[in-house]
Structure 1
Amino acid sequence: MSEAASPGLTAVVPAAGIGSRMGASCPKQYLPLAGKTILEHTLDALLSHSAIAQVIVALAPHDTWFETLSVARDPRILRVQGGAERAYSVLNALHVTTGPWVLVHDAARPCLTHGDLDELIAAAMASGGAILGSRVRDTMKRTDGAGNIVATVDRDGLWHALTPQMFPTGTLKRALEEGLALGALITDEASAMERAGFTVKMVEGRADNIKVTRPEDLSLAELFLQQQSARQQARPD
């Protein structure tokens, strides 16, 4: 699907986490990366795509960093209060969403490309819901509580779940509400939809759509952003 043919969409970015594994003095989404914060790169990737009309950012109640970013003044951005868990942050955003479709993207995935967005939007609208993912390439092991290997897992058909994840707004809202009410483990939007009995389409995305989780991920994300910028500049007008 080309950007010109895509409808106006709402993107939700849960950004209320603290990212304790980074060991930083601020939430990881506000760490510097290639001249901006991680969150600014993430929001830029979404706002620069013509299919996306609005971005709802779910922030922690004590967040004092977001308002200092220039992107915070973009009229297409709406802020809501985040929750203690990702699912509550997304649900708070869905309560103020009026569009029929929503896509949810991690705040700490700054390397999203428009090509992946195009593929996701087309697949979601054709199938009723889809997520980006990358195939598992390494040998998979299962361990016990003591860290001992108990089995080698067949990686055939296994995927790493990425974001964005795109679904009809009302359907996702109900799936999250029902799952949370029953105390179900909801690790991403797809898990709520799966639990509610819906089939979710997997769309193979780029492997450089990484989530910045540990300090070493910062240099890797910067390299990917530089490579993406170089490819963009090398394209003929």
Structure 2
Amino acid sequence: MTSYFAIVPAAGSGARFGGTTPKQYEMLAGRPLIHYSLAVLCACPLIERVWVVLAPDDTGWRSFDWTPLGPKLESVFSGGATRSASVANGLRAAATAVCDEDWLLVHDAARPCLSLPMLAHLCAELADDPVGGLLAVPLADTLKRADDEQRVARTEARDGLWQAQTPQMFRYGLLRRALAEHPAGTDEASAIEALGLRPRLVRGDASNLKVTYAADLRLAEMILRARGGGDE
């Protein structure tokens, strides 16, 4: 029977976010940002184990009590210089527990508003898919291409364009090969695409936002509180 596992790469410093604290440890509704990504994966009945991949010199992880998330969670201090390297190191750490045909979900540490229904929908949609895929949403905004003077060079057609989200879900063996052969991609799907395969786009929800800037924390908190999440 095919099993499901998850990796959360969390070795970055969140330079675009600013501040002195790594982004994954910024507080959101009373808990560190990364808590929410880990909590929903650990709560999913399908997922057997969750690896969080941290920088070798991470000093923030042990400042928090992660035991309430349960026995599924395992920390690995082997993060790399890029997201791709961190995920690849996480895959190596998982090698003794995961088979090539098992599903491996990769989720952003800074995407705290993933819900169990979104996660269940992704797994159900891809259960029999030959390639795998990712949550994504069709682009709704008008896109402008800028020139060197920060003026509009042209308007880009948005037909057929989607904004990638996470989790991204692929077979363990396939994902490990894709990242080994094509490590320069910005997400797992791009590495799979570089093999000549076509990941499936599973429609997600705009609430599954990625916290990139400080203002995004406020929006994420509003979403979580509307769902009844976070500390009061």
TM over 0.5: yes
Give 1:150's aligned residue.
Answer: 153
Give 1:91's aligned residue.
Answer: 88
Residue identity matched to 1:199: R
Give 1:198's aligned residue.
Answer: 197
1:34 equivalent in alignment to 2:29: yes
Q: How does 1:5-24 map to 2 (within 5 A)?
A: 8-24=3-19
Give 1:187's aligned residue.
Answer: 186
1:129 equivalent in alignment to 2:100: no
Cα contact 2:143–2:155 (8 A) shared by 1: yes
Seen in structure 2, the aligned counterparts of structure 1 residues 216 and 178 have a Cα distance that, compared at 3 Å, is same
CA distance in 1 between counterparts of 2:67 and 2:87 reads 19
Residue identity matched to 2:134: I
Give 2:226's aligned residue.
Answer: 227
CA distance in 2 between counterparts of 1:78 and 1:34 reads 24
Seen in structure 2, the aligned counterparts of structure 1 residues 40 and 7 have a Cα distance that, compared at 3 Å, is farther
Give 2:213's aligned residue.
Answer: 214
Q: 2:174 aligns with which of 167, 171, 175?
A: 171
Structure with bigger helix share is: 1
Residue identity matched to 2:121: E
Give 2:61's aligned residue.
Answer: 66
CA distance in 2 between counterparts of 1:201 and 1:145 reads 35
Q: Tell me the TM-score normalized by structure 1.
A: 0.89
Number of residue equivalences: 221
Give the root-mean-square deviation of aligned CA atoms. 1.6
CA distance in 2 between counterparts of 1:58 and 1:144 reads 38
Q: Larger deviation: 120-129 or 187-196? A: 120-129
1:90 Cα offset (Å) = 0.2
Flag structure 1 segments of 5+ consecutive residues without an equivalent: 1-5, 231-237
Cα contact 2:147–2:153 (8 A) shared by 1: yes
CA distance in 2 between counterparts of 1:207 and 1:126 reads 25
CA distance in 2 between counterparts of 1:118 and 1:109 reads 16
Q: Tell me the TM-score normalized by structure 2.
A: 0.90
1:96 Cα offset (Å) = 2.3
Cα contact 1:133–1:159 (8 A) shared by 2: yes
Q: 1:110 aligns with which of 109, 112, 115?
A: 112
Residue identity matched to 2:199: V
1:151 Cα offset (Å) = 1.8
Alignment deviations for residues 8-48 of structure 1 (CA, whole Å, 9 cap, x no partner): 42110000011112222210110111111111111111111
Give 2:74's aligned residue.
Answer: 78
Q: Larger deviation: 118-127 or 188-197? A: 118-127
Alignment deviations for residues 85-121 of structure 1 (CA, whole Å, 9 cap, x no partner): 0000000011122321100000001100111111111
Flag structure 2 segments of 5+ consecutive residues without an equivalent: none
Q: Percent identity?
A: 43
